[in-house]
Amino acid sequence: MEKKIFLALDNLSKKEILQLVEELKDTVMFKINDAFTKFGPELIEEIHGKGGEVFLDLKFHDIPNTVANYSKAVAEKKVFCFNVHCLGGFEMMKKASETIDSYCKEKNLRKPLIFGVTILTSMDEKTLKEEMQVNYSVEEMVKHLALLAKKAGLNGVVCSSKEIKLVKEACGKDFLTITPGIRPQWSVSDDQKRITTPKKAVQDGTDFLVIGRPIIQAEKYNMKRTKAVKKILQEISL
Ligand code: C5P
């Protein structure tokens, strides 16, 4: 079965990260953000060295040329995927996508998938209106930005469980989605507000799930981490 889960390696020591990769590399892929800043790009090589795949979650947002340069640097690291903010605009996304295509061809590198971040789930309609002076609903913006990302050549977007159907209906089922805010029924919600179960997110059509604490803190639920992943995978396939 193709791997569907990105384990969010947030706020961990390098030792803990490498231990998790060792334990879970056969069933999940690994999402890094603060770890990249703390431990540097060598961490990606170390995760690869242990047989893990990486989602580099750095959400690039800059002028097109700069994001194109980031994209080349990411391609050199041979990650599975990375992301950019859709609000960086069409030209930025297009340049990232074209650069990945041409650079990977030229250097004979595996092409990483590129995902767009539409509207952060920490923002709501009030933030859009009052801070950004955007007079559209979150849903309208998500749909618009997902379509723009598709047109620019991105492979998909990161979206909340509420938005999976909306994105798939607008962009087609081959346009990929990654969904965070996932909580199996047996786990607690932590600081996540709008959560959904892995099963529901997959039923709604999402391609990938981001899950962190329910797996990392599996002991809290009296199970090993491998067991937590197994339970989630079983739940998804039922
Ligand atoms: O499963 P858990 O809540 O531990 O996962 C947290 C991870 O998901 C973090 O890396 C966070 O950045 C990411 N994420 C999120 N909500 C979003 C987007 C990303 O929790 N809307």
Backbone phi and psi for residue 183, each to the nearest 5 degrees, phi listed first: -140, 115
Closest-lying ligand 1 atom to the alpha carbon of residue 213: 4
| DSSP conformation class of 44 | H
Question: What pLDDT score was predicted for residue 193?
Answer: 81
Question: What pLDDT score was predicted for residue 194?
Answer: 79
> Using a 6 Å cutoff on CB, does residue 192 contact ligand 1?
yes
Q: Would you say residue 192 has pLDDT above 90?
A: no
Digit-coded pLDDT (tens) for 165-177: 999 999 999 999 9
Domain count, the chain: 1
Question: What pLDDT score was predicted for residue 191?
Answer: 86
* CATH code (residue 100): 3.20.20.70
Q: Which residues lie across from 157 on neighbouring strands?
A: 116, 177
CA-wise closest residue to 150 among 132, 168, 134, 135: 168
Q: How far apart are the first and last CA of the chain?
A: 14
> Using a 6 Å cutoff on CB, does residue 198 contact ligand 1?
no
Prediction pTM value: 0.96
> How many Å lie between the centroid of ligand 1 and the Cα of residue 151?
26
> How many Å lie between the centroid of ligand 1 and the Cα of residue 180?
5
Distance in angstroms (rounded) separating the CA atoms of residues 74 and 204:
31
> Using a 6 Å cutoff on CB, does residue 213 contact ligand 1?
yes
> How many Å lie between the centroid of ligand 1 and the Cα of residue 235?
20
- Tell me, what amino acid is at 178? I
Digit-coded pLDDT (tens) for 59-82: 999 999 999 999 999 999 999 999
- Cβ pair 226, 23 in contact under 8 A: yes
* Active-site annotation, residues: 59
Q: Would you say residue 189 has pLDDT above 70?
A: yes
Closest-lying ligand 1 atom to the alpha carbon of residue 215: 1
> How many Å lie between the centroid of ligand 1 and the Cα of residue 6?
10
Average pLDDT over every residue of 25-47? 98
Average pLDDT over every residue of 2-9? 96
Digit-coded pLDDT (tens) for 199-226: 999 999 999 999 999 999 999 999 999 9
**160: domain range?**
5-237
